[in-house]
């Protein structure tokens, strides 16, 4: 028996910008993060799931400066169609954007998250979505991060990614891989 989903989903593709490929913040984990992001965008389009691309513009730091190469969407993503392109200046995609209005207008109840970085913008947006009463699907292999070292300590990209996914699965999101997500839509 085929189960028909009554969920109204939107795929949110967060900050897949050149800064994460050729700039100061190269995403290193998981290895196939970018090809998986492109795959979920293609699946969403084939299944007629609305897709929103989000682009970060950083007002405080010398990265993601509007109009620069680092700020632009990666060319392979930029050539794909989307239903909405949002610009944001803070980690959460709902803060200072029209995302919440768009979701309410389209009666969306499920937010699928892909993109960068797992531990900042993806994590913050998932938490915001949950606070708004949305079901959140956090794509474990279509999000990505990097190793960090600062005054608080050091962590590998793998450790950071795994920790955020574990925290997300704990009452915030359903953490699944892109194949499970794609199969769910069949």
Give the model confidence (pLDDT) of 113-165 as tens digits: 999 999 999 999 999 999 999 999 999 999 999 999 999 999 999 999 999 99
Burial (CB count within 10 angstroms: exposed 0-12, middle 13-18, buried 19+), residue 2: exposed
User: What are the two backbone dihedrals, phi and then psi, of residue 34, each rounded to the nearest 5 degrees?
Assistant: -70, -45
Q: Is residue 4 predicted with pLDDT exceeding 70?
A: no
The residues that are catalytic are: 15, 88, 121
Q: Could you tell me the pTM of the whole model?
A: 0.95
Helix or strand holding residue 78 (H, E) = helix 75-78
Q: pLDDT tens across 20-68, in order?
A: 999 999 999 999 999 999 999 999 999 999 999 999 999 899 999 999 9
Domain extent listing, the chain: 9-184
Give residue 170's pLDDT band: very low, low, confident or very high (50, 70, 90). very high
Nearest residue to 116 (alpha-carbon basis) of 7, 4, 9, 23: 23
CB distance 8 to 110 below 8 Å: yes
Q: State the Cα–Cα distance between residues 186 and 87, nearest whole angstrom.
A: 31
Which pair of structure tokens corresponds to residue 52? 């929103």
CB distance 115 to 16 below 8 Å: yes
Class level of CATH domain 9-184: alpha beta
Distance from the first to the final alpha carbon of the chain: 12
Q: What is the DSSP string of 22-58?
A: HSS----BSTTHHHHHHHHHHHHHHTT--EEEEEE--
pLDDT at 2: 36
Q: State the Cα–Cα distance between residues 91 and 67, nearest whole angstrom.
A: 19
What 3-state class would DSSP assign to 141?
Answer: strand
DSSP 106: T
Q: State the Cα–Cα distance between residues 112 and 41, nearest whole angstrom.
A: 11
Q: Is residue 3 predicted with pLDDT exceeding 80?
A: no
Q: State the Cα–Cα distance between residues 38 and 13, nearest whole angstrom.
A: 10
């Amino acid at each position: 028996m085929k189960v028909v989903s009554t969920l109204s989903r939107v795929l949110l593709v967060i900050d897949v910008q050149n800064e994460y490929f050729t700039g100061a913040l190269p995403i290193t984990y998981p290895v196939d993060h970018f090809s998986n992001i492109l795959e979920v965008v293609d699946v969403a389009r084939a299944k007629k799931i609305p897709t929103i691309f989000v682009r970060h513009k950083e007002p405080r730091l010398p990265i993601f400066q509007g109009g620069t190469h680092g700020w632009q969407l990666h060319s392979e993503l930029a050539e794909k169609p989307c239903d909405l392109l949002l610009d944001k200046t803070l980690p959460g995609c709902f803060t200072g954007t029209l995302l919440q209005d768009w979701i309410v207008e389209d009666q969306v109840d499920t937010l699928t998250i892909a993109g960068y970085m797992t531990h900042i913008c993806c994590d913050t947006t998932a938490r915001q979505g949950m606070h708004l009463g949305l079901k959140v699907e956090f794509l474990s292999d279509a999000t990505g991060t990097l190793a960090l070292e600062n005054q608080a300590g050091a962590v590998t990209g793998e450790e950071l990614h795994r920790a955020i996914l574990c925290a997300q699965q704990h009452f915030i999101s359903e953490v699944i891989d892109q194949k499970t997500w794609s199969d769910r839509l069949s």
